[in-house]
Structure 1
Amino acid sequence: MKKSRVTLTDIAKALNISASTVSRALKDHPAINKETKRAVVKLAKKLKYQPNLLALGLLQKKTYTVGVIVPEITGHFFSTVITGIRDVLSPAGYNIAICLSNESFQEEIAITEKMAKTQIDGVLVSPASSTKTYKHFKALQKNGIPLVVFDRDCPGLDADKVLVDDYDGAFQAVEYLINSGCKNIAHLSGPMNLSITEHRLQGYLDALGKHKFPVKQENVIHVSGFTHEDGIKPAQKLLKLKNRPDAIFAMNDCIAISAMHVAKKMGLQIPGDVSIIGFDDEPHSSYFTPALSTIWQPVYSVGMLSARILLSKLQEGEEEPELRREVFKPELIIRASSKAV
């Protein structure tokens, strides 16, 4: 016969107190005296009491689940962000439901619709590369579901946001290449409509402009995605130019490593013939030969802060805070794939 779950009522009857007193004692409520708290906690441990989260959720109109929507999960960036999110929400009693949009706008819409129907408590999202409008996010907000956007901005959407200063990171990388003596600097840029693509491209252009370098249209090529495969043909196109670049700033480390692979196959020396700098500081980047120069960003902190902001909105009795826009500063990491200044 299946053993029944120990309830608050069971503990209350054993101690001859009310179930509400037991509940408040387990929550360390200041109105309950210390002796009662000790007795309740001791008996709860003895009986191996576990709170019924489903019943608690129904009572408080909460599911204690937060949705996390990300474009992918195989890379270091989003897996680390999710770890940061979990490390904040789990101790607070929340589960996380991870959903992959696979860079699809339609899939992202379908996910948000399902989340609204399951009455999820809050949503953390990094939008897909194909996302251009935000009606589906606004629909969540209209349903009373708080939303925090991280990594990739949604311009014009009123929501809490946790971002990295992509412009500054790109500017640092390109200015370093200039200061190291590079004269013809190319950029392997990201998918067209992403905020991070726009900001990193603008950082590249402004660094060139500051040092009065000409902007060559053929030196900027947009990749279709963020994998190694996505970078091969664009890198080949750049390195086969008649006026071949002597430096490449890549959208991310995967694309930068693709450029290194192509350069080596063409017999080019790195950084003698071409300096290469990436963006993200993936863990494996320092183990390539030569080790990849890159832009480090505080990925784990992005996840933690995003979760903390959402958690502040989920806390009972807290006044609605103003929208927050937090921007982390990245850092240039110089390794062997770029010339020394």
Structure 2
Amino acid sequence: MKKGRVTIKDIAKALNISASTVSRALKDHPAIKKETKQAVVKLAKKLKYHPNLLAISLLQKKTHTIGVIVPEITSHFFSTIITGIQSVLSPAGYNISISLSNESYDEEVAIVEKMAKSQIDGVLVSPASSTKKYKHFKALQKNGIPLVVFDRDCPGLNVDKVLVDDYDGAFQAVEYLIKSGCKNIAHISGPPELSISKHRLNGYIDALKKNNMPILPENIVHVAGFSHEDGIGPSESLLKSQTPLDAIFAVNDSIAIAAMHTAKKLGFKIPDDISIIGFDDEPHSSYFVPALSTVWQPAYSVGMLSARLLLKHLQDSEEISGYREEIFRPELVIRTSSKEI
């Protein structure tokens, strides 16, 4: 027997039968004699034969692989979403191929093009912060590859979407700060072009408006990214400003933790001098001193529902009319980085 991958032809040659007979025997075809089936199965096990999934995929015109594109994977939020996706797709017989856009539109376009060429069955994507055009997503749809967008919206793109009500989460957080007695609340917002940044900023502004509090442009700063390092400079500029702040609502937990670090460094006591609230409820947030108040998002559920919507497109023989947009409501989690009401 030759070295390398064992094929159906190798088994057929060893048993002096045709390759088609081996193929049907392995599929337990009723037209094949019992003795032949037993001989084929026995030899296949002995030689450690495995089906060529690529060849099967080409015949079926399906790869049973789903592409998942996320901006990054280091945060608990995206890793939990991926776990939710896996919990639905794996039992359904699908593998997932995870790619990182690193918040780059160009990388995202390149990933989508590669996935389309590899005949991927479907795509789940959380768009990069720099994604403003959706031509690459529309190209997938034209090629018959179903697409579901999660977490970050693509306004005007007609696809199924699974989102979190970022506006409501921000509104809850800022209104809590107001009710706890805070008078001068700043907001460290995300990249201005990103949908989640816009929604959380609008929630912040509307909570102030509802409570007849002034909206000061100098109290709103934007970060270039979502890491701890991205939050140091903006939080310093806010805390060193001439107008004394008594609260900061940050676009996510990493930025909020950067603000806490900066506040402590500058001599602020948390929450006596300044309250700080984040967004995401990363697991480590509860272990800081003080523990970070934040907005919890149902990341696992976002992943599960996104996968289920995509699976529906893949399994339904009839074309699905219309698109679904599912929005989860987040929950405010109060810990010791903010004052009690």
TM superposition shift of 1:203 = 0.4
Amino acid of the structure 1 residue aligned with 2:177: L
Partner of 2:199: 199
Partner of 1:283: 283
Write the distance in 2 (CA, Å) between the matches of 1:98 and 1:145: 17
Partner of 1:325: 325
TM superposition shift of 1:58 = 1.5
Partner of 1:148: 148
When residues 50 and 208 of structure 1 are mapped into structure 2, their CA distance, relative to the original with a 3 A threshold, is same
Q: What's the secondary structure of 1:58's corresponding residue? A: helix
Q: What's the secondary structure of 1:295's corresponding residue? A: strand
Partner of 1:29: none
Write the distance in 1 (CA, Å) between the matches of 2:124 and 2:99: 10
Partner of 2:251: 251
Amino acid of the structure 2 residue aligned with 1:154: C
Partner of 2:264: 264
TM superposition shift of 1:179 = 0.6
Write the distance in 2 (CA, Å) between the matches of 1:112 and 1:4: 31
Partner of 1:28: none
| Structure 1 contact 313–321 (Cα < 8 Å) conserved | no
TM superposition shift of 1:54 = 2.0
TM superposition shift of 1:201 = 0.4
Partner of 2:208: 208
Write the distance in 2 (CA, Å) between the matches of 1:90 and 1:180: 46
Amino acid of the structure 2 residue aligned with 1:114: K
Which runs of 5 or more structure 2 residues have no equivalent in the other structure?
none
**Residue 178 of structure 2 is aligned to residue 188 of structure 1:** no
**Residue 96 of structure 2 is aligned to residue 93 of structure 1:** no
Cα deviation per residue 1:38-66 (whole Å; 9 max; x = unaligned)? x99xx79x948755422321121011111
When residues 326 and 267 of structure 1 are mapped into structure 2, their CA distance, relative to the original with a 3 A threshold, is same
Write the distance in 1 (CA, Å) between the matches of 2:114 and 2:176: 46
| Structure 1 contact 235–258 (Cα < 8 Å) conserved | yes
When residues 272 and 4 of structure 1 are mapped into structure 2, their CA distance, relative to the original with a 3 A threshold, is closer
Write the distance in 1 (CA, Å) between the matches of 2:135 and 2:25: 45
Alignment of 1:97-246 (within 5 A): 97-246=97-246
Write the distance in 2 (CA, Å) between the matches of 1:305 and 1:22: 36
Write the distance in 1 (CA, Å) between the matches of 2:99 and 2:209: 41
What RMSD in Å do the two structures reach over aligned CA positions?
A: 2.7
Write the distance in 1 (CA, Å) between the matches of 2:321 and 2:283: 36
Q: What's the secondary structure of 2:98's corresponding residue? A: strand
Partner of 1:76: 76
Partner of 2:338: 338
Amino acid of the structure 2 residue aligned with 1:268: F
Write the distance in 1 (CA, Å) between the matches of 2:262 and 2:77: 24
Cα deviation per residue 1:132-181 (whole Å; 9 max; x = unaligned)? 11011101111111110000000000011010000000000000001111
| Structure 1 contact 296–332 (Cα < 8 Å) conserved | yes
When residues 20 and 315 of structure 1 are mapped into structure 2, their CA distance, relative to the original with a 3 A threshold, is farther
Task: Name whichever of 59-68 and 47-56 sits farther off.
Answer: 47-56
Partner of 2:309: 309
Q: What's the secondary structure of 2:102's corresponding residue? A: coil
Cα deviation per residue 1:196-240 (whole Å; 9 max; x = unaligned)? 000000000110011111101100001111001100110011111
When residues 4 and 292 of structure 1 are mapped into structure 2, their CA distance, relative to the original with a 3 A threshold, is closer
Q: Normalising by structure 1, report the TM-score.
A: 0.88
| Structure 1 contact 159–323 (Cα < 8 Å) conserved | yes
Moved over 3 A (4+): 1-7, 17-25, 46-52
Amino acid of the structure 2 residue aligned with 1:295: V
Cα deviation per residue 1:265-310 (whole Å; 9 max; x = unaligned)? 0111100000000000001000000000000001111111111111
Write the distance in 1 (CA, Å) between the matches of 2:321 and 2:298: 25
Write the distance in 2 (CA, Å) between the matches of 1:24 and 1:310: 32
Partner of 1:65: 65
TM superposition shift of 1:92 = 1.5
When residues 188 and 24 of structure 1 are mapped into structure 2, their CA distance, relative to the original with a 3 A threshold, is farther
| Structure 1 contact 186–249 (Cα < 8 Å) conserved | yes
When residues 24 and 172 of structure 1 are mapped into structure 2, their CA distance, relative to the original with a 3 A threshold, is farther
When residues 24 and 80 of structure 1 are mapped into structure 2, their CA distance, relative to the original with a 3 A threshold, is farther
| Structure 1 contact 76–283 (Cα < 8 Å) conserved | yes
